Amino acid sequence: MASVVEYKGPREGYRCGYCDAPEGKVSSGMWAHSMTVQDYQDLIDRGWRRSGKYVYKPVMNQTCCPQYTIRCRPLHFQPSKSHKKVLKKMFKFLSKGEFSKGNNEEEPMDSQMDDAGMHDFALKSKLDIKSDQRPLSEDCHEFKESKVKEKEDLEPKETKMLNQSHAKQEKLGSGEPSSSVKVVPSTPKPGKGADLSKPPCRKAKDIRKERKRQKLILKSQTDQVQHEEKPKLNQPKSIEDFIFDTLPDKSAHQLEVRVVRSSPPSSQFKATFQESYQVYKRYQMVIHKDPPDKPTVSQFTRFLCSSPLEAENPPNGPDCGYGSFHQQYWLDGKIIAVGVIDVLPYCVSSVYLYYDPDYAFLSLGVYSALREIAFTRELHEKTSQLSYYYMGFYIHSCPKMRYKGQYRPSDLLCPETYVWVPIEQCLPALENSKYCRFNQDTKAVDEERIKELDRLRVLYKRTIMPYNIYKKRQKGPSDEAIVQQYADLVGQTCSERMLLFRS
């Protein structure tokens, strides 16, 4: 099935929700009557994003707040201190029912990167390191004592042997056999010291001395290796270790996360629609200060339930299939949050999150983002090419919207060449200018730029045809300029695969 889109052209001069400029926002958009998951994957890799069935792309060099597509690399993701703080807070709430209702005025996924409150974790880490080092220091101390003891034991023996040699020379003329020379009048205790009735054998002592020294060196090396291996055994906790940590038998609360298909709506989605909508309505009214009559059922459906994406369930795809879903967070049998997501060939794309304001103290924006990263990692285990987590747009010019850059490692999309660049390389440029080309190769161009407009596919009077045929049948003024604009924005591949509806 082919995607069918209706290009609406550029839209400018409307209010920006980020900087509140009354006429600062500029974007191009199209209505997607239907869309394959592969086409949408290719579109978001060119800076597009959907809201319901409307798919839009900011005009980056003109809009007041440039919005850069951002993706996280979950396979290499390690939770930061603030992320761990949120995960531990959730575990503490679920296991013991304990929570602290501090300042929770955060946006979805918002994180203040506050290291305060992580003191216990840092202290624990230091104590762990200290305890790991202790056996080595004790062994080193024992080793030094052994070396001193060995030196004390061996030096008198060497002195004794020298005395024996001198005594032998002095008594050679007495007629006594050398073997009967006795330097020390007292007899050695059984099992201790050398047998002085026999000639000394320095070679055997040297061997014993060397053996003892080798044993001490080997013991020291073994202890050193064990000490070095301990940190490897004590690897940093993964995100799954925190999320799926075993709760006590009598935990205070139970949390369950369910993934239900929203388009076309599954039976589970239909059964929970009203409850899910009520959570959305409260969220919009309390968090975004919407009047009670604004978050209607139709607005909720149009914005977060309707999707142009066609459901696909290929045998080599994820168990849930591809398409649009709601990830519902059930606490003790009721919905407290919903993450709206798209599962695409190469990524999980986050669309929106809404939650019950009564549970804002759980930092559900951050928690849901971490759960979606873990979900991406889970899907990757079966579908290896699905390995990215798209977080929508990163807006550096709006400080409140920089939180997405805290999920590392992550990349930003170059708005001119559509290649991914690590965010660390992009931030210095964004400090100097709102709009930036991230690709440092000055000769690089958009590889998907339109080369043959005539190959673009058109749906005209219920007939599919290439653009060059459509031009011959077209009546009235030419629309080539607007078609060219559409083709430049979607790229050569999508223009040949999708159907551009013309009336």
Residue 108 has pLDDT above 70, yes or no: no
Residue 141 lies in a domain: yes
Q: Residue 448 half-sphere exposure, CB side, CA atoms within 13 Å?
A: 21
How many domains, in total, are found in the chain?
A: 1
Q: Count Cβ atoms within 10 A of the Cβ of residue 453 and give its class: 0-12 exposed, 13-18 middle, 19 or more buried.
A: middle
Which one is predicted more confidently, 489 or 131? 489
Beta bridge partners of 241: none
496, β-bridge pairs: none
> What is the pLDDT, as a whole number, of residue 105?
42
- pTM, two decimals, is 0.76
Residue 322 has pLDDT above 50, yes or no: yes
Which band of pLDDT confidence, cut at 50, 70 and 90, is reported for residue 354?
Answer: very high
The answer to whether residue 276 sits within a structural domain is no
d(CA 229, CA 223): 10
Instruction: Examine residue 164 and state whether it is found in any structural domain, yes or no.
Output: yes
Burial 203-226 (b: 16+ CB within 10 A, else e): eeeeeeeeeeeeebeeebeebeee
Q: How confident is the model at residue 99 (pLDDT cuts 50, 70, 90)?
A: confident
For position 362, what pLDDT does the model report?
Answer: 98
Q: Residue 226 domain-assigned?
A: yes
Q: Are 267 and 110 in contact (CB under 8 A)?
A: no
- Cα gap 240→270, rounded to integer Å: 30
Whole-number Å distance between alpha carbons of 107 and 88? 20
Is a pLDDT exceeding 90 seen at residue 448? Answer: yes
Report phi then psi at 99, rounded to 5. -160, 160
Q: What pLDDT is recorded for position 18?
A: 92
Range of the structural domain that residue 131 is part of: 120-170+201-233
> What average pLDDT does the segment 355-371 reach?
98
Which DSSP letter does residue 310 get?
A: P
Lowest-pLDDT choice from 60-64, 210-214, 233-237, 402-406: 233-237
In degrees, rounded to 5, the angle at the alpha carbon of residue 176 between the alpha carbons of residues 175 and 177 is 115
For residue 214, name the pLDDT band (cuts at 50, 70, 90): confident
- Which pLDDT band, with edges at 50, 70 and 90, does 38 fall under? very high
CB burial of residue 325 (10 Å; 0-12, 13-18, 19+): buried
Question: Does some domain include residue 34?
Answer: no
163: helix, strand or coil: helix
Name the more confident of 157 and 437: 437
- 65, 378 Cβ separation under 8 angstroms: no
Residue among 379, 363, 276, 367 nearest 320 (CA): 379
Cα distance between residue 49 and residue 421, in whole Å: 19
Q: What is the pLDDT of residues 474-487, one digit of tens each?
A: 888 999 999 999 99
Whether 36 maps to a domain, the answer reads no
Q: Which pLDDT score is estimated for 204?
A: 78
Q: What are the CA-CA distances from residue 426 to residues 18, 44, 67, 319, 457 (Å)?
A: 20, 19, 13, 36, 36
Give me the chain's average pLDDT, please: 85
The pLDDT of residue 226: 63
Of the given ranges (54-58, 99-103, 174-178), which has the lowest mean pLDDT?
174-178
Lookup: tokens for 495: 């223009």
pLDDT in tens, 138-193: 444 444 444 444 444 444 444 445 445 444 444 444 444 444 444 445 555 555 55
β-strands 4-14, 25-34 pairing: antiparallel
Average pLDDT over residues 338-343: 98
> Minimal CA–CA distance to 70: which of 399, 430, 324, 414?
414
Residues of 140-159 as b/e, b for ≥16 C-beta within 10 angstroms? eeeeeebeeeeeeeeeeeee
| Per-residue pLDDT at 102 | 61
Residue 158 within any structural domain of the chain: yes
Q: What is the pLDDT of residue 130?
A: 34
Packing angle between helix 480-497 and helix 37-44, nearest 10 degrees? 120
Domain assignment present for residue 384? The answer is: no
For the chain, how are helix, strand and coil distributed in percent, rounded to 5?
45, 20, 35
Residues 376 and 347: beta-carbon distance below 8 Å: yes
Task: Determine the pLDDT at residue 228.
Answer: 58
Closest of 495, 455, 460 to residue 475, by C-alpha: 460
Contacts of 369 by beta carbon, 8 Å cutoff, 6+ apart = 109, 350, 353, 391, 407
Average pLDDT, integer, range 457-467: 97
- Which residues, in sequence order, are bridge partners of residue 56? 29, 49
